[in-house]
Every structure is written in structure tokens, then in C-alpha cells.
Amino acid sequence: MLKPIIVSLITDISNTTKSSIPIASRLPFNVEYGEKFNQYIYPIAMHNYMAVFTRSFATIAVDNLYYVLIQHACGMFSIIGNVLENIGKNNANDFNAKSDKIKDNNYNKTLHCLRRHLDVIEFAENIEELFTKIFLINLNLNMICGSLAGVQVLMNLEKNASDISVPIIIYTAQFIHLFLHFWNAQFLLDYSVLPYKSICKIHLQYKLITSERCKKLLLLIMSRTISPCRITAGKVATLSIERFGVENITLLFDSFSSFFASLVLIYK
């Protein structure tokens, strides 16, 4: 949808008038309407933009669902960590460690956090199960489309700037789209260990004055939190900012190196 704007800007910079820009190049993609094309240019343009929007609406809907589910899981981990951080905080030094289970408020809070923690872990595993195959396909398609965009740029180096701008815009959009997937997966990695950090914090700062049964529940939560929840691509690669930097930044530098090497060979 940005193609007509970019083409118009590039053509204006080239010291030409807007009237010299072909009408067909102002549309998102090429269409054939015969001799009446110029007569019905505005309805055709509206149809073009609606087609682009409806084609991308499914991707937008799935991505927004993924972002919302991840943020909900992170919020639940944050709530559990906040509750755990306040357990045993206000207990006195003469606290009875062998009090009745019904009257032990810290035990009841910890038991509730344990149950909610298991529910959130199951929820995160369901998210991973739902999107793991999609991300595997998405990663492979991004690599293929990125390579095709680079080949298209190299083939159109000696032509108009508009022929180069379109594949560069497409590659940039794919790069940002992939980054958002890795970025949200990193949120889940970080927030899923919050309960562990909260328990360690109350143990160090407040010496964890609670009953023995409460401490056993806290150990169960800690043992499960050691392995953080993660989003994977086909159960093969874990999505994280570190993984994104290692793979995609390297691929980007390789693409730029090949691009400049091709420029040198062409001008030689």
C-alpha cells in the first residue's frame, strides 16, 4: 500500500512532474481493465486497496491474537510474582511455624498461587502448541522471500529507483514483522521466571518467616519455574531477542555484503 507513495516521492525527486508518473504505477499492484482503465481509475484504486487490506486482515488478526495471549500470560505471571513477594513480609519474629492449616494465611495464599501458576503454565504451553507450526512456516517463508527480494534488487539495479524500492520495502516489512514475533516471545521468557525471582527476593530480604508447609509449596513453585515458558518454531528454535539478533542480523549483514559486492562487480 506504500508503493504508490514511494514511487511518487522518488519520481518527484528525479526532477519530473507528477503527470509523468504512469497511472498504473500509482496502484498497489498491476491490473488489466482494458481501454476504460483511465476512466474508472478511482473505483479501481479503491478496489485495489480493499483487496490488499482483506488479504492482510487474516495475518493482522492472527498476530493480534498472539500478542494479546502473550501479554495476558505475562500479566498472570506478574500477578503471581507480586502475591508471592508479599508472603511472610509482615510476620513477627514470634510467628508460630506449626499453626493450624486453616488459620495459616500464608499457606492459603501460596497454595492459591501454586494452582494459578500451574494454570498459567498450561496456558503458555497451549499458546506454544497453537503457534509453533505457524512460526516454523513463517521463518522459512521470510528467509525465502528475503532472498527473492535481494535477487530482485540486484536484477533492477540499472533500472528505475521505483523497481528497487518495492522489494526493499517488502523486505523491511518482513523484518519488522519477524521482530515483533521474537520480541513478544521474549516477554514470555522474562515474565515466566518472575515467581522464582519473587521467592528469592522475600527469602533474602525478609528471611521468609512462614510455616514449613508453606515453604514446601514455595519450593514446588521454584522447581517448576527454573524451566521458563518459551515459544518455539516447530519445537526446533526458541524465539527470543538473542536468537533474532544472532540469526537475522547476521543474515542482514550477509545480504548487505552481497549487495555491495554485486555493485562493485557491476561498476567494474
pLDDT in tens, 116-127: 999 999 999 999
| CA–CA gap between residue 95 and residue 211 (Å, rounded) | 9
pLDDT digits (tens, 9 = 90+) for 18-48: 444 455 666 777 777 776 777 777 788 788 8
| CA–CA gap between residue 83 and residue 102 (Å, rounded) | 19
> Are 40 and 58 spatial neighbours (Cβ–Cβ below 8 Å)?
no
pLDDT of residue 40: 77
Averaged pLDDT, 51-61: 86
The half-sphere exposure of 74 on its side-chain side, counting CA atoms within 13 A, is 17
| CA–CA gap between residue 196 and residue 182 (Å, rounded) | 23
Q: What is the mean pLDDT of the chain?
A: 78
pLDDT digits (tens, 9 = 90+) for 176-186: 888 999 999 99
Task: Provide the terminal-to-terminal Cα distance of the chain, rounded to the nearest Å.
Answer: 36
Task: Identify the H or E element spanning 147.
Answer: helix 105-155
pLDDT of residue 14: 47
Of 125-129, 132-136, 164-168, 172-176, the poorest mean pLDDT is in: 164-168
pLDDT digits (tens, 9 = 90+) for 188-235: 999 999 999 888 887 665 555 667 788 888 888 888 888 899 999 988
Give the confidence band of 63 by pLDDT, cuts at 50, 70, 90. very high
pLDDT of residue 3: 67
pTM: 0.74
Give the confidence band of 160 by pLDDT, cuts at 50, 70, 90. low
